[in-house]
Structure 1
């Protein structure tokens, strides 16, 4: 009886652990839930209405063109083509999103974090320096690696990470995230571009910067 009680307690603890581990994107209990903007005959799930399954079509599950290079015109030298439930309705409730990232020479994806997703970055073309920083409990350690075509790296959920094209030509990366709404926070944009702005003197002291530099950063972002 004692062994049985221990076994049941272990199973209960495991079930609780798994439920907490996957709570950020609940698993679907139906074949699919194609998102629609109308509530007609729909059910509201994960921030979207589900269309009648009988009205679903193959186009709801397909995105074309990730093989097509995107122009890079941003100041940071990269263009992100994000594929999610917003342009593939069939993604709804499935718990993932993907993206293509085009890098110009010296282009980058600045330090940022996904609050609800881990991310895999695969180098499809070029050479990319990528890395992430652990939490303060681990001493803010930097994990970084120069990746070549065919290499990949995983960024753990919630940790600040980045990618930088260190090759002599353009680069392309494909990414996958295990949430349909990963929640992307670019560090500089979040801190210096908040609306309304964070107090300049506070930021100057927090980052040990001249207030004029903080004001300049706030104007940029």
Structure 2
């Protein structure tokens, strides 16, 4: 009898450990997928353009972590493409939607999601994007530095009841990073806010507004 109880306890412990490992593995995969979703490939870049121009063009969508220009040591010029990595996937998604085909330096640039060398990540990315459709959350970027959370909330309340409004802050709590998230009570309000407020001039800067991707508790 005692032996049987020990056996059952061992099996329960093992099953619990396996569940924990599977949960941790899923969490790691989701983090990797979100990291991949922060990157975009920019092609067909005029050889005369420098990194600063690329940064200026892509910065309105959110904070940029890095820009990797394809440098050719022989010609001392880039090869006509670059990888832009944002701090958050929403910024990358918006730049994909709004910068592909835009004229920059006399050429129509090509913007696509960064090719992944991790094919298994695509399924997780699809899952994250599918889940995001359930959220009543929107992402707002290119917010003027002098505007406050209350200012943003007052403007966006025109589309419906807001349950959450938060601007991202950096090291200083007194200054926001130019972007934030708003959650509405209904999906209809969120979609209307995106349709009405994207490229709206607020305080001299054109807002960039799109769907939130990251889970509310991320």
Q: With structure 1 as the length reference, what TM-score do the two structures score?
A: 0.30
If each structure's helix is expressed as a fraction of its own residues, which one has the higher value? 2
Q: With structure 2 as the length reference, what TM-score do the two structures score?
A: 0.30
